[in-house]
Amino acid sequence: MASPFFMRKIIHIDMDSFYASVEVRDNPSLKGKPVGIGSATEKRGVLCTANYEARKYGVKAALSTMYALKLCPDLILVKPNFEKYQEESLKIREIFKEYTELIEPLSLDEAFLDVSDCKKCEGSATLIAQEIRAKIFDKTKLTASAGIAPNKFLAKVASDWNKPNGQFVITPEDVAEFVYKLPLKKIFGVGKVTATKLHDQGFKTCGDIQKASIRELRDIVGSFGESLHKYSKGIDDREVCTTRERKSISVEHTFKEDILEVKEVAKKVEKIFAELKYRLKNKNVGKNEIKSIFIKLKFNDFQQTTVSDLNSSFELSDYLQLVNRGFKRKEAPVRLLGLGVQLKTQKKVSKYQLNFLNE
Ligand code: DCP
Ligand code: MG
């Protein structure tokens, strides 16, 4: 008899060629043409993604732009516009919330939903996924794919199965047959290196792994061996982790050597600010949700000071001013600098606090 976790109803939703689809939607002259998202001016740049027309030529995310143009000379390059993607992402998440509170976003364009307790669509996860995809299209004119399965591992594999604009269901009864022939590279956590190690030992599919002992797997892939063994049988008891309430988000850097002058700190502010901006974007926090900004300085005697400003906008120059004010309070060497924001509402974001010791 299957254990309860095996009976969860998990949906994994993943938007199709997300950034590219947004750009094609907003510029219909691109429709039907191969499009890559990336900058043509950055010589060593890489593509964020490419639409499905471009993928026919082998063009895909993380490929260098130069190489992509060799593969597909007609490739049209469009610069990414992250704010736009974030807006779309928020719309999509609003739709998810109509079905469950158990939402685990993995990035702007994908999320796990635990719909085990959802009563809509007569409790059918398949119909819920269909409805969600239809609503996404209605609201954004973008297509999404979905995987429906009893756990996260299988749901993620399934969302890729009928991409783009498709969905695939793995029922509890289908699991054993589905995983048996599943290539190992489909398993989350099996990258190129691990896959090669396993291939070298004759393991190609989940079926092959099922026959191995955990000890044998540990010898090849270390502590991942146990999870690998479970996944190969289609077992994954990880819960959908909803993010936690947080009032502030900050990024801190501890410097290898204390910083003596405010001018030097200013240089670091720029870098940390860029990182903070990136993190806020990733957490879907818009400027309008910021209540105040703050900085934290820790001096070489471990005393620290915090300066905050309720009325400033979220600009680099605002942070620089706060750092100046903080530095004047003590005028001593600084060993740590943090930049952060207080949020207006207790927006749900995952715990985020970075401490870099590599500066
Ligand atoms: N992305 C990126 N750099 C990468 C991979 C992805 O910037 N190396 C961005 C661009 C993608 C978005 O994240 O549009 C979502 O990533 P996906 O892996 O889901 O890729 P796509 O949505 O573009 O395509 P697919 O249809 O395969 O999901
Ligand atoms: Mg996607």
Q: What is the DSSP pairing of strand 167-169 with strand 144-149? A: parallel
224 and 247 together in one domain: no
CATH number at residue 208: 1.10.150.20
Tens digit of each residue's pLDDT (9 = 90 or more) over 112-123: 999 999 999 999
pTM, to two decimals? 0.71
CA of 71 to the centre of ligand 1 (A): 19
284 and 324 together in one domain: yes
Mutation probe of ligand 1 site: the residue of 46, 109, 161, 278 with most atoms within 8 A of C-beta: 109
200 and 251 together in one domain: no
Ligand number with the minimum distance to the CA of 164: 1
Residues with CB under 6 A from ligand 1: 14-19, 48-49, 61-62, 107, 109-110, 163-164
Contacts 24+ apart (CB under 8 A), 196-205: 197/221, 205/180, 205/181
**Mean pLDDT over residues 241-257, rounded?**
79
Residues around ion ligand 2, judged by CB within 5 A, are 14-15, 18, 109
Contact 168, 24 (CB under 8 A): no
CATH number at residue 336: 3.30.1490.100
What atom of ligand 1 comes closest to residue 19's alpha carbon? 14
Ligand number with the minimum distance to the CA of 108: 1
**Mean pLDDT over residues 197-207, rounded?**
96
286 and 327 together in one domain: yes
Residue 334, domain member (yes or no): yes
220 and 248 together in one domain: no
351 and 249 together in one domain: yes
273 and 189 together in one domain: no
**Amino acid of residue 349:** V
Domain boundary among 192, 212, 232: 232
Examine the residue annotation and report whether 131 is marked as an active-site residue of this protein: no
**What is d(CA 120, CA 343) in angstroms, rounded to the nearest whole number?**
33
Tokens of 287: 């400027």
Of 30, 28, 144, the residue nearest 91 (C-alpha): 144
Residue 79, domain member (yes or no): no
What atom of ligand 1 comes closest to residue 163's alpha carbon? 26
Tens digit of each residue's pLDDT (9 = 90 or more) over 255-299: 888 888 888 888 899 999 999 998 898 888 888 889 899 999 998
Mutation probe of ligand 1 site: the residue of 12, 16, 22, 48 with most atoms within 8 A of C-beta: 48
Mutation probe of ligand 1 site: the residue of 49, 84, 188 with most atoms within 8 A of C-beta: 49
**Mean pLDDT of the residues in the chain:** 89
Among residues 94, 110, 173, 270, the one annotated as catalytic is 110
**What is d(CA 208, CA 217) in angstroms, rounded to the nearest whole number?**
11
For 209-241, what is the HEC assignment? Answer: HHCCCHHHHHHHHCCHHHHHHHHHCCCCCCCCC
Residue 180, domain member (yes or no): yes
DSSP code at position 46: B
**Phi, psi (rounded to 5 degrees) for 25:** -60, -40
Q: Which domain holds residue 259?
A: 243-357
CA of 115 to the centre of ligand 2 (A): 21
Considering 41-55, 255-269, 314-328, the range whose residues carry the highest mean pLDDT is 314-328
Q: How many other C-beta atoms are found inside a 10 Å radius of the C-beta of residue 47?
A: 24
CA distance readout (Å), 62 to 65, 69, 193, 320? 9, 13, 18, 34
pLDDT confidence of 244, banded at 50, 70, 90?
low
Sequence-distant (6+) residues with CB within 8 A of 210 are 180, 229, 232, 233
pLDDT confidence of 352, banded at 50, 70, 90?
very low
Sequence-distant (6+) residues with CB within 8 A of 230 are 236, 237
pLDDT confidence of 6, banded at 50, 70, 90?
very low
Ligand number with the minimum distance to the CA of 84: 1
Residue 314, domain member (yes or no): yes
**What is d(CA 279, CA 276) in angstroms, rounded to the nearest whole number?**
5
Q: For the chain, what is the domain count?
A: 2
- When mean pLDDT is compared across 46-55, 187-196, 228-237, the lowest value belongs to 187-196
CA of 213 to the centre of ligand 1 (A): 35
278 and 227 together in one domain: no
Of 208, 165, 167, 159, the residue nearest 188 (C-alpha): 159
Q: Is residue 80 reached through a cis peptide bond, with omega within 30 degrees of 0 on the bond before it?
A: no
